A and B are shown apart, each in its own frame.
Chain A
Amino acid sequence: KNEVEQSPQNLTAQEGEFITINCSYSVGISALHWLQQHPGGGIVSLFMLSSGKKKHGRLIATINIQEKHSSLHITASHPRDSAVYICAVFMNRDDKIIFGKGTRLHILP
């Protein structure tokens, strides 16, 4: 079993839909990051979470430390949100970083 599991692997939705991507982990962490990778390959950090909830524009990220689970939500999705979304956890025992396999999101106009 992978230490970081993301779901779904692939997601296709219509423009305007509410999107949820999930990340579960099994190790002790100091922080969790959500990353966005566009088709061209560039990676952008969206959120860093150690507790609670953060919001930036149409993006919301939450984390539940007790349940070892995080979600990334996109409201009013748009075709430009089409990308791969990756969660990454920073392990608190040795500062290593483990990535989920990513969720490929495709928003249809």
Chain B
Amino acid sequence: DSGVTQTPKHLITATGQRVTLRCSPRSGDLSVYWYQQSLDQGLQFLIQYYNGEERAKGNILERFSAQQFPDLHSELNLSSLELGDSALYFCASSPFSGGGETQYFGPGTRLLVL
């Protein structure tokens, strides 16, 4: 158990809908990272938040947005969903920021868009 929790575990929805994925980092960790893993693209970095502020941005679509709240939990909002958004969404946390730290991964949210 990494100490990182993600809800929900599974989500099935229809095209055009909007969903929110939630991540609670390990106690004391200030950074949250969001990743998407699809069968054809593999793992992709979406976005990183550090202590409530956006720190780095990857291949995040404009239809997607994220935020980190004062209690350090984070939410990833996916809107106008398309079939291609079906994927595993992971969050990870680390104590501070930068590549020189171990990241602790949550169990992932499996999203299926029908």
Please list the residues of chain A having a beta carbon within 8 angstroms of any beta carbon in chain B: 29-33, 35, 41-45, 48, 50, 86, 88-90, 92, 94-102
Contact = CB atoms under 8 A, between A and B. Distances in A.
Contacts of B107: 41-42
Interface residues of B, number: 26
Dominant secondary structure at the B interface: strand
Contacts of A101: 42
Dominant secondary structure at the A interface: strand
Q: Which of A45, A100, A101 has the most CB of B within 10 A?
A: A45
15 contacts: A29-B99, A30-B98, A30-B99, A33-B99, A35-B105, A42-B107, A43-B105, A48-B102, A90-B98, A90-B99, A92-B99, A95-B48, A96-B57, A97-B58, A99-B44
Q: Which of B48, B100, B110 has the most CB of A within 10 A?
A: B100
Interface of B: 2, 33, 42-45, 48, 55-58, 88, 90, 92, 97-105, 107-108, 110
B45 A45 contact: no
B43 A86 contact: yes
